[in-house]
C-alpha cells in the first residue's frame, strides 16, 4: 500500500541511516529543557507506564509514518492524538518564567511544535556531521516532509513554520530566549532516562560513547544547564570522531548494517 512518503522523499533518505538514532537523545534533552513540555513528558511517560517502553513506542510510530503505509500510520497517530487529549495538568513547582499552577496540555500546539522542531533540528545536525550536508532544496523538502508528520500529530498548517529557515530561526530564538529552563527535576530525570538506560555490562562502553556524542551535539547553553562537562579537548575528540565516522567508517559498512530495513 502507498505510504505518506516514498523512496524519493528526503525524510526517507535521511532516516534510512541507522546512525540517525544519535539524533534521538539530543532531541529528548532539548524537549525536556522546556518546563511545560517536560511536565507533559513526565506525566505521559513516568506516571502512566515505563518511560523507556513509551519512548520505544513513539519511535515505532515515527518509523511507521516514514516507512509504513498510510492506513497503519494514520491509525497509529490517531491513538497518539487520543492519548494527548487526555494528558493535561498544572505545574506543581515553578520553573524558569513559568509559575506554579501553569496549565499544560500534551496537545498544546506550541508544545507539539517544540517537540517537532527539536526532532528536525537534531536530525539535520546528525546527518550533516556524520553523513554529509543536504543542500538548501533538500533541507526545505525535509521540512515539508516533517510538516506532514506534524499534521498527523495534530498540528495545523498555520501552526508550523513555512520554511526550514523559519524553523532554524525559531529554534535559535528559543535557545536565546527565556522559555527554556532545565529544572533540577528535569536534569535528574531526563539524564536518567536518556543517558542511563539499562544495558548489559558488555554494552556499557557503547552507551558511554553514545552519551559522549549526545553531550557534544547539545547546544552549549543547554549542556551547561544540564551540568554536563565539556571542554576544548572533548570538542576536538568529538569533531575528529565525527569526521572519521563520516569519511571512513560509514562508507565501508555493508548496506545491511548501515541502513534500516523499511
Domain residue limits, the chain: 10-258
Beta bridge partners of 105: 88
Q: Where are the alpha helices (DSSP H) in 153-254?
A: 164-176, 184-195, 204-217, 220-225, 232-244, 250-252
**Does residue 144 contact residue 73 with C-beta atoms inside 8 Å?**
no
pLDDT tens, residue order, the chain (262 aa): 699 999 999 999 999 999 999 999 999 999 999 999 888 766 555 444 566 666 777 889 999 999 999 999 999 999 999 988 988 888 888 989 999 999 999 899 999 999 999 999 999 999 999 999 999 999 999 999 999 999 999 999 999 999 999 999 999 999 999 999 998 888 888 788 888 888 898 889 999 999 999 999 999 999 999 999 999 999 999 999 999 999 999 999 999 999 998 6
Which contiguous run of DSSP H or E holds residue 83? helix 70-86
How many distinct helices (H) and strands (E) make up the chain? 14, 2
Number of C-beta neighbours around residue 59 at 10 A: 12
Cα(49)–Cα(261) distance, rounded to whole angstroms? 29
Take residue 10 and report the three cell numbers written for it: 528526503
Cα(30)–Cα(108) distance, rounded to whole angstroms? 17
Task: Match 556524520 to its residue by C-alpha cell.
Answer: 130
Amino acid at each position: 500500500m502507498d505510504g505518506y512518503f516514498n523512496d524519493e522523499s528526503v525524510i526517507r533518505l535521511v532516516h534510512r541511516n541507522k546512525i540517525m538514532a544519535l539524533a534521538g537523545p539530543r532531541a529528548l534533552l532539548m524537549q525536556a529543557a522546556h518546563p511545560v513540555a517536560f511536565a507533559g513528558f513526565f506525566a505521559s511517560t513516568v506516571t502512566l507506564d515505563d518511560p523507556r517502553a513509551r519512548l520505544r513506542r513513539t519511535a515505532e510510530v515515527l518509523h511507521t509514518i516514514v516507512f509504513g503505509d498510510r492506513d497503519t500510520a494514520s491509525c497509529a497517530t490517531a491513538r497518539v492524538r487520543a492519548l494527548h487529549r487526555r494528558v493535561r495538568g498544572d505545574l506543581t513547582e515553578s520553573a524558569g518564567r513559568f509559575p506554579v499552577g501553569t496549565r499544560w496540555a500534551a496537545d498544546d500546539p506550541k508544545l507539539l511544535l517544540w517537540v517537532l522542531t527539536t526532532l528536525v533540528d537534531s536530525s539535520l545536525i546528525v546527518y550533516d556531521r556524520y553523513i554529509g550536508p543536504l543542500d538548501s532544496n533538500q533541507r526545505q523538502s525535509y521540512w515539508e516532509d516533517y510538516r506532514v508528520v506534524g499534521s498527523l500529530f495534530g498540528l495545523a498548517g498555520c501552526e508550523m513554520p513555512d520554511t526550514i529557515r523559519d524553523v532554524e530561526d525559531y529554534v535559535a530564538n528559543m535557545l536565546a530566549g527565556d522559555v527554556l529552563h532545565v529544572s533540577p527535576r528535569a536534569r535528574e530525570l531526563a539524564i536518567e532516562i536518556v543517558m542511563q538506560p539499562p544495558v548489559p555490562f558488555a554494552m556499557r562502553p557503547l552507551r558511554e560513547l553514545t552519551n559522549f556524542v549526545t553531550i557534544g551535539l547539545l547546544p552549549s547553553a543547554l549542556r551547561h544547564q544540564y551540568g554536563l562537562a565539556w571542554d576544548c579537548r572533548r570538542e576536538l575528540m568529538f569533531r575528529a570522531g565525527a569526521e572519521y565516522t563520516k569519511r571512513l567508517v560509514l562508507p565501508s559498512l555493508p548496506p545491511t548494517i548501515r541502513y534500516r530495513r523499511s
